A and B are shown apart, each in its own frame.
Chain A
Amino acid sequence: MLLEIENLGVEVAGKRVLKDINLSIAEGETHVLLGPNGAGKSTLFLTILGFPQYDIVQGSIKFKGQDITKLSTAERVQLGIGVSFQTPPAIRGVSVRDLLKIESHQDMDEDLNPRMKELAEQLKFSDEFLDRDVNLGFSGGEVKRSEILQLLAQMPDFTMFDEPDSGVDIENVELLASEIGTLLDKDKPQGSRKRSGLLITHLGYILNFVSADKAHVLIDGVISCSGNPTEILEDIRKNGFNGCVECAQCL
């Protein structure tokens, strides 16, 4: 297993948000995390990432066989985890170009490498845009595309996307989906994929464009069901998350 979460319990600001989460993602797999607003999806994402506000009160997270529960965010990322945020903060004086250089392990004094320049163009960023302060005054679509571009600089072994489709118009969703596909080895046959990912979405819209191997539904801090993404999504589209609540009650 690439990622193994066992009996995970998490508190935020003294409040219990996640309860007894068990989730395993194998090499080459893409999982989806569905669930209504406030269910705890972002909390799980940020806990795996290791943000300090998220207190692990129970259980463990293993990545590549190593217990990462006590590692800092930077250390986890260096092990091969990458993320795209739903609403990242703007940072004055730190440009997209600076970040891309760091993420692609380039020397700060060098020009941005040709591969990154090409990818930037693919994601419809002009060269001048790269000198803008990251996320400062970006449109919703620009934020998402910049997040994906930064991930393409890193090429992580395991990538988590928090609501990559929210606030993005249709045309751009397809573009984003194709780059997400690159990050998840979708261009390779299923058996030979190496990269893995976790797509977080409460609408499931992105799943029209990116295929997933398994879906999990998170409700009120508990994974209420796991299974085939198409079936689960169909059920949610028919019955809303209520169906999942009932399902959770049966468990």
Chain B
Amino acid sequence: MDVLSVRNVYEDAERAKDKKAAIGADVTIENFTDETVNALDMIDDLDDLSNQTKKDLLKVGVDTEENNRSGSFLQVDQSNIFTNNAISDSIEVMNIGIALEKYNWVEDYLWNVVKPDADKYTAKTALREKEDGVKSGYFVRSLPGTKEVMPVQACMFISDADIMQTAHNVIIAEENSELHLITGCATGDDISSAMHVGVSEMYLKPGSKITFTMVHNWAEEVEVRPRTGVNLADNATYINNYILTSPVSTIQSFPTAYCNGENSRAIFQSIQGGKKDSIIDVGSRVLLNAKGAKGEVISRAVAQDESQIYARGHLAGTVPEVKGHLECHGLVLSDDSFIYAVPELEASSANLEMSHEAAVGKISEDEINYLTSRGISEEDAESMIVRGFLNMDITGLPDELAQQTQNMIDMSLDGM
């Protein structure tokens, strides 16, 4: 990025600093405090974390012993306290600030597939970067032609009450490489209120593949606004898995994949369990902009208690010979909760194929009766059905990771 475009980023951000997001409840950013970047001390080993923190991290898929991992990154509040870049020769993991010092080209990947003026949350992230002169977040890159099957684990953790955590992450899969990430976000046990904004920009070069599996475990008063953009070149494959089954105040995100390369493919799979008075507004969007591109958005949502779930999916085909499928299934378990499914298909070209399937309803009496007729209590029957409903087959992961992901899903569903 040259000087001019850097200035443009901040000018754009400045103009957008009060711009409400297109959807989702508006959060008063001023209610949260900024922390100084890298105020916390680095640690030498994830094992040095407190037992409680380790437990919290484990719940979101972060293995503090780093077994079966190809790298680790941990940001606590606004500090990058741990990075392990030494496990794999195929993969680089570092703080985004360090990456910018190491490679001058990293600049070109900032504010490119996510715009600083998208809304006040992206604007705030950009303006803080300007103000601090330092960036927070991670940089993960798989080198050309490499296929590391073990995942990198990246974690955003909030340990201080009432703060606003921001991060700006860049993920690059170089040509014909394969990259797997497990990202966990969580708050410490004693934290009730906080805010998290994570800007993530992903770039898939020709023939590359990224799988991105994210588990969220926030607290009841946390406001979450992730902003994710994914750019796919020819023959690239992106697989996004998202799991949220714990209470949160509000979360709104609408990650968008731009299938700009021919025969590129994006799949979003999400599992959402709404509890207490959580407001969950999570969508996935795939823009099919090149011949042979494919998009798939699959979500399962269960609303309990007083929760509200907006399950969105948007597929847009702009050129011929693209394919898209959208599938949204929801279960409403209580009278005070609701699910609002918003499947959108948009075709601005002829000769393309797009379909959707949406079904929202309450748990089927017939299914409960069937299980009780096997001697299972009504309560257990209900929880079996809910778990079964949410326990979707996640596709596209290497065997080892598929097993781990299944364990993560099982663990998340245990709390349901």
A99, B392: Cα distance in complex, Å = 18
Q: Tell me whether B390 and A74 are in contact (CB under 8 A).
A: no
Q: Is B375 an interface position by the 8 A CB rule?
A: yes
The verdict on A89 contacting B378 (CB below 8 Å), with A49-B373, A73-B373, A94-B384 known, is no
A:65-108 near B, CB below 8 Å: 72-74, 77-78, 83, 85, 88-89, 91-94, 98-99, 102-103
Cβ of B374 and Cβ of A92 under 8 Å apart? no
20 CB-based A-B contacts, threshold 8 Å: A52-B369, A72-B372, A73-B369, A77-B372, A77-B373, A85-B373, A89-B364, A89-B367, A91-B370, A91-B384, A93-B385, A93-B389, A93-B390, A93-B391, A94-B371, A94-B388, A102-B376, A133-B388, A150-B374, A154-B375
Asked if A99 contacts B367 (CB within 8 A), the reply is no
New A-B pairs, 15, CB < 8 Å, besides A85-B373, A91-B371, A93-B389: A49-B373, A51-B373, A72-B377, A77-B372, A78-B375, A85-B370, A89-B364, A91-B385, A93-B392, A102-B376, A103-B375, A133-B388, A150-B374, A154-B374, A154-B375
CA distance A98 to B380 in the complex (A): 13
Give the Cβ gap from B226 to chain A, nearest Cβ, in Å: 27
For chain B, give the interface size range. Answer: 20 to 34
Chain B residue contacts of A99, Cβ below 8 A:
374
Chain A residues whose CB sits within 8 angstroms of the CB of B370 once the complex forms: 85, 88-89, 91
Contact size range, A: 20 to 34
Closest 9 CB pairs of A and B: A93-B388, A77-B375, A73-B372, A89-B366, A94-B388, A74-B372, A93-B391, A74-B377, A91-B367
Number of A-B contacts (CB under 8 A): 58
Interface residues of B in 306-365 (CB under 8 A from A): 364
Chain B residue nearest in CB terms to A78: B375
Q: Which residues of B contact A93 (CB under 8 A)?
A: 385, 387-392
Shortest CB-to-CB span from B241 to chain A, Å, is 16
* Residues in A whose Cβ lies below 8 Å from that of B373: 49, 51, 73, 77, 83, 85
Q: Which residues of B contact A74 (CB under 8 A)?
A: 372, 375-378
Q: Is the CB–CB distance between A91 and B375 below 8 Å? A: no
Closest to A135 in B: B370
Instruction: Provide the residues of chain B in CB contact with A91, threshold 8 Å.
Output: 367, 370-371, 384-385, 388
List chain B residues, Cβ under 8 A from A98.
384
Residues from chain A with a CB closer than 8 A to the CB of B389 are 92-93
Give Cα A14–Cα B374 distance, bound, in whole angstroms. 27
In the complex, A62→B389 CA distance in Å? 37
Interface residues of A in 87-134 (CB under 8 A from B): 88-89, 91-94, 98-99, 102-103, 133
Give complex CA distance A83, B369 in Å.
12
- Given the complex of chains A and B, what is the CA–CA distance between A177 and B194 in angstroms? 64
